[in-house]
Every structure is written in structure tokens, then in C-alpha cells.
């Protein structure tokens, strides 16, 4: 639950940034997906994952990532492609305020599994209260 700056190679021919697993981000990348052609102002992704971790980058345009660990809610505004937000497992996440023509790139630590999703916020709070989330302190780190 924090912003991570990425390397930035400045060049008159254009800039370059990159991400490597276990280097800039603390997990192995099992899946990459992207969200595009989002109507301006649209919102997505109100859910938590039991196991999956993510790193979200705005490759183009802008949007907000809202993270909530059951105690605290933080809004990360992403509008440059040289940083992203790390989403540990067991954190409620929403994405909103998409600009027209925005492009969100998401690196994930697990293959897609519908069973890993918690779609209901009350169920998410119950999951935390029942000790289902093994790393609550990690989610608290700024
Ligand atoms: P979902 O994660 O629910 O999107 P959002 O939270 O942004 O609304 O996924 C939307 C649909 O896409 C859902 O039917 C599952 C499917 N999907 C995959 O098949 N593979 C994937 O890697 C992802 C992220 C989604």
C-alpha cells in the first residue's frame, strides 16, 4: 500500500522506465493485464484479493487507486508512467476518476482466479476480523 518510484532513463529520444520482479516490486510476476477504452469518469475494481498482490501503473492518462485496509483509506493519483502503487494481498481496492484514453497496466502475482476475489466490502471486513489476512501490518505500511 505504497507508491513505488521506478527507474527513469532520460534520453532526448524519449524516456524509458522498467519494472523487474523482486527488485522494484516484492513479488514474482505471474500475470499482466491492462485496462483501456474506459469512459471518462468511470470506476472499476471494488474488491479485495485473498492472495493476489498487484502493482498498478498509469501508462497513459490518469486515474485514482483507492486502497483500504479496513482501518484506513488512501487515495493514490496516478498520472505518470514512472511510478506505480503496490497493492498487498488483503486490501480493498477501487479504481476511479479515469480520464478519457487512460491506460492502466497491472502486474499480478497470481494467475487469474475468481475464487481469490472478495467482492463485498462487509465480507472483506469479516475476512480481516476472522484473521484470514496473514499480513495486516504489511498492509498498514505507508
Ligand atoms: P475484474 O477483475 O472483475 O475487473 P474490475 O475489477 O476492473 O471490474 O475483471 C473483469 C472481468 O474480466 C471478469 O469477468 C474476469 C475477467 N478477467 C480475466 O478473465 N482475467 C484477468 O486476468 C482479469 C483481471 C479479469
CATH code where residue 102 lies:
2.60.120.10
Q: Is the CB of 45 under 6 A from ligand 1?
A: yes
How many domains does the chain fold into? 1
Instruction: Choose among 18, 28, 21: nearest CA to 83.
Output: 18
Tell if the pTM clears 0.85, that is, is over it. Answer: yes
Ligand 1 pocket test target in 42, 44, 64 with most atoms within 8 Å of CB: 44
Tell me: the pLDDT tens digits for 43-93? 998 999 999 999 999 999 999 999 999 999 999 999 999 999 999 999 999
Q: Is the CB of 43 under 6 A from ligand 1?
A: no
- Quote the domain boundaries for residue 72: 2-139
Tell me: the pLDDT tens digits for 23-56? 999 999 999 999 999 998 889 989 999 999 999 9
Instruction: Map 12-47 to HEC letters.
Output: CCCCEECCCECCCECCCCCEEEEECCCCCCCCEEEE
Please name the residue whose Cα sits nearest to atom 23 of ligand 1: 112
Q: Is the CB of 47 under 6 A from ligand 1?
A: yes
Amino acid at each position: 500500500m505504497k507508491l513505488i518510484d521506478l527507474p527513469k532513463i532520460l534520453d532526448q529520444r524519449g524516456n524509458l522506465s522498467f519494472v523487474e520482479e523482486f527488485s522494484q516490486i516484492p513479488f514474482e510476476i505471474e500475470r499482466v493485464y491492462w485496462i483501456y477504452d474506459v469512459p471518462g469518469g468511470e470506476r472499476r475494481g471494488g474488491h479485495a484479493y485473498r492472495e493476489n498482490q498487484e502493482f498498478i501503473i498509469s501508462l497513459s492518462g490518469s486515474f485514482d487507486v483507492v486502497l483500504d485496509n479496513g482501518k484506513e483509506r488512501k487515495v493514490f493519483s496516478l498520472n505518470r508512467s514512472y511510478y506505480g502503487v503496490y497493492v498487498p494481498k488483503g486490501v480493498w481496492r477501487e479504481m476511479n476518476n479515469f480520464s478519457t484514453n487512460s491506460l492502466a497496466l497491472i502486474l499480478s502475482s497470481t494467475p487469474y482466479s475468481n475464487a481469490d476475489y472478495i467482492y463485498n466490502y462487509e465480507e472483506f471486513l469479516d475476512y480481516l476480523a476472522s484473521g484470514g489476512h496473514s499480513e495486516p501490518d504489511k498492509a498498514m505500511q505507508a
